[in-house]
Amino acid sequence: MNRLFKSALFPILVVLVLAFFALKIVNSSSSGPGQNWSDLVSQTEAGKVKSLKSDPTGNSVTYTQTDNTTHSVGVPSVALLNTELSLAKEKGVAIDGAKVYYANSAGVFETDLPAFAPA
């Protein structure tokens, strides 16, 4: 019985040590606190956002800052998304995968993105 305990102890210790180092590596890869919607808006207002990509299926927006760091944040509402996309357009941010609808002076809804017709 003593031999069984000693032979089983070594693999258990190896697994625990490997798990400890794997946990350290995973935790160190996250660089600082995560971004939220307010951070995106303030970064856009400050002109520090280079591009935006909307993902309607994931209900999120991925954006790249001028220092080439990329963040993804959840979209609180469609109205806030449209407001952010309008602000980004004013600031000259490249917008990809998003549709911005607004009412023109005649009350007709338009989009700023080109329509693609099948060939």
Residue 50 lies in a domain: yes
Count of structural domains within the chain: 2
**Residue numbers of the domain that contains 83:** 37-111
Q: Is the pLDDT of residue 49 over 90?
A: yes
d(CA 51, CA 63): 6
Q: What is the pTM of this model?
A: 0.55
User: pLDDT of 93-119, one tens digit each?
Assistant: 888 864 545 555 555 444 544 443 343
Regarding whether 54 and 22 lie in a shared domain, the answer is: no
Which tokens sit at 87? 């602000």
pLDDT value, residue 4? 60
80 in the same domain as 60: yes
| 49 phi/psi in degrees, rounded to 5 | -105, 125
HSE value, Cβ hemisphere, 13 Å, CA-based, for 54: 21
